[in-house]
Amino acid sequence: MGKFNLSFFFVILTIAPSLLRAFSPESPTDRRVLVLLDDFAIKSSHSLYFNSLKSRGFNLDFKLASDPQISLQRYGNYLYDALVLLCPSIDRFGGSVDQAAILDFVDSGHDLIIAADVNSSELIREVATECGVEFDEDAASMVIDHSSYAVSATEGDHTLIASNDLIKSEVILGSNKIEAPVLFKGIGHSLNPANNMVLKVLSASPAAYSAYPKAKLSSPPSLMGSAISLVSVVQARNNARILIAGSLSMFSNRFFRSGVQQAGTATKHEKAGNEQLLTELSRWVFHERGHLKAVNVRHHKVGETDEPAIYRIKDDLEYSVEIYEWSGTSWKPYVSNDVQLQFYMMSPYVLKTLSTDKKGLYSTSFKVPDAYGVFQFKIEYENLGYTTLSLSKQIPVRPYRHNEYERFIPAAYPYYGATFSMMAGLFIFTAVHLYNK
Counting every residue written for the chain, the total comes to 437
Sign, CA dihedral 169-171-175-177, equals negative
Q: How much of the chain, in percent, has pLDDT values that exceed 90?
A: 66
Q: Residue 10: pLDDT above 50? A: no
Average of per-residue pLDDT across 282-302: 93
d(CA 34, CA 63): 8
Predicted confidence at residue 13, as pLDDT, reads 37
Q: Give the closest residue to 351 by CA, choosing from 360, 361, 359, 341.
A: 341
d(CA 374, CA 9): 48
What mean pLDDT value characterizes the chain? Answer: 88
Sign, CA dihedral 260-272-84-202, equals negative
Average of per-residue pLDDT across 81-100: 93
Q: Residue 154: pLDDT above 60? A: no
- For residue 31, what pLDDT band results from cuts at 50, 70 and 90? confident
- For residue 147, what pLDDT band results from cuts at 50, 70 and 90? confident
- For residue 14, what pLDDT band results from cuts at 50, 70 and 90? very low
Q: Write b or e for each residue in 322-350: b if 16 or more Cβ atoms lie within 10 A of its Cβ, otherwise e.
A: bbbbbeeeebeebeeeebebbbbbeeebb
- Cα-based distances in Å from 437 to 161, 431, 434: 119, 12, 8
Q: Residue 94: pLDDT above 60? A: yes
Q: Which of 17-21, 47-51, 257-261, 405-409 has the highest mean pLDDT?
A: 47-51
Environment class of residue 388 by beta-carbon count within 10 Å: exposed (0-12), middle (13-18) or buried (19+)?
middle
Average of per-residue pLDDT across 348-361: 93
CA torsion, ordered 122, 127, 128, 131, to nearest 10 deg? 160
The DSSP annotation for 25-58 comes to TTB-S--EEEEEES-THHHHHTHHHHHHHHHTT-
Average of per-residue pLDDT across 421-425: 94
| Residue 278 DSSP one-character state | H
pTM of the model: 0.83
Q: Residue 336: pLDDT above 70? A: yes
Average of per-residue pLDDT across 143-157: 79
Residue 328 in contact with residue 290, Cβ under 8 Å? no
**Helix, strand, coil proportions of the chain in percent (round to 5)?**
25, 30, 45
Q: 261 in the Ramachandran plot: left (φ > 0), alpha (ψ -120 to 50) or beta?
A: beta
Predicted confidence at residue 433, as pLDDT, reads 85
pLDDT, tens digit, for every residue of 33-66? Answer: 999 999 999 999 999 999 999 999 999 999 999 9
